[in-house]
A = this chain, B = another copy of it.
Amino acid sequence: MGSFGHGVSGGDRRGGASGVDKGVDFAQYFCTYAYLYHQKEMLSDRVRMDAYYNSVFKNKKHFQGKTVLDVGTGSGILAIWSAQAGARKVYAVEATKMSEHARALVKANNLQDVVEVIEASMEDVTLPEKVDVIISEWMGYFLLRESMFDSVICARDRWLKPNGVMYPSHARMWMAPIRSALVNQKMNQYEGAMDDWYSFLEETKSYYGVDMSILTRSFDEEQKKYFLHTSLWSNLQPEEVIGTPAIVCEIDCLTATVQDIAEVRSQFSCKIHTDARLCGFGGWFDVHFRGRVDNPAEEEIELTTEPSEENSTHWGQQVFLVQPPRNVCRGDSLNFSFVMKRTIENHRLMEIELGCEFKQSSGEQLQPFKKTFCIE
């Protein structure tokens, strides 16, 4: 025994428990957000902060004299801005002990008469009234990892007035073909792990008299899954994108249901714009603050997590590796089939079945690509 917290092992390989258990979920998910350190990381993401800040202060009409609900308020920043923009009352709901810090922050900024911090899960809370605005920063990696949007939907269905506004109002998932040194790096790590395994087998046999070769196939699967079939966080550079990004799906935050996001099926295509070695696909998202059709924003704000030299975010992009890489040419068409589901083990994690067919401008035929990835 001894639990490998000391960085000797190849990364954090926490598994999930079987079935969805509220206690497990709390432990695995919410506790991360109970650290000020993590709050600081999010509050230091200038792209994220600027977008929310501008969405509120350039659209004060949505806030002045209104009631606002902040779902998962964390440090309380969105609730505080809403109050500063003129809200009459802000309910700031937070499931973790971070609520105590939020309450202190609200008071230190002299907004305790407007902002009420409530420590509760959104599913359980009872508010004294319905609200004009729901604001929340709910987006996970590749938008839907963590499934916190479920809580926003729950909040909306229970507490948003019929003519209420969602902040953000819309969200989109994007995908594009990329080149990347990651594919060689991960392939080397995978191969290194297998080399180690074979030495290990020999040692275990010769020193300790036990033949473990029966486990080779399972070990290989485990390593492939870890190094090659799990999406990778990356801060892609724009020049690594070798084709036109495609929209995977669009979400209207005012109308989307839990069912809509629990399983996302999509078909889309894109065109290669550079002769290159296709090493994978990059996935990211953007959200927009547009208000609603009958009550639009004065100034529409966008928060994008696309590959960018200057404006990278803590979300980065998720990379899905293509192994072995394929040579593609300017003008080639890629047709995707995409299914994203929650994993059975942990409803906050996702599994993606990604298929891609290549239509080459040269007329050659490239083998279609199909693989299932985890997002961890």
Contact = CB atoms under 8 A, between A and B. Distances in A.
Interface in A186-222: 193, 196-197, 200, 203-204, 207-215, 218-219, 222
Interface residues on A, range: 35 or more
A187 B15 CA distance: 33
Nearest to A209: B84
B40 A8 contact: no
Contact of A210 (B37, B80, B197): B80
Contacts of A212: 43, 75, 105, 108
A349 to B, nearest CB: 10
B17 A27 contact: yes
Interface string A1-29: 11111111110111111000101101111
A215 B101 contact: yes
Interface stretch (A86-94, A137-145, A268-276, A356-364): A137-145
Interface of A: 1-10, 12-17, 21, 23-24, 26-29, 31-38, 40-44, 49, 53, 72, 75, 77, 80-81, 84, 101, 104-105, 107-109, 137-141, 145-146, 148, 193, 196-197, 200, 203-204, 207-215, 218-219, 222-223, 226, 233, 313-316, 376
17 contacts: A1-B139, A2-B314, A3-B32, A5-B233, A7-B233, A9-B38, A9-B41, A14-B28, A16-B27, A23-B24, A24-B26, A43-B200, A77-B208, A80-B210, A81-B209, A101-B215, A105-B215
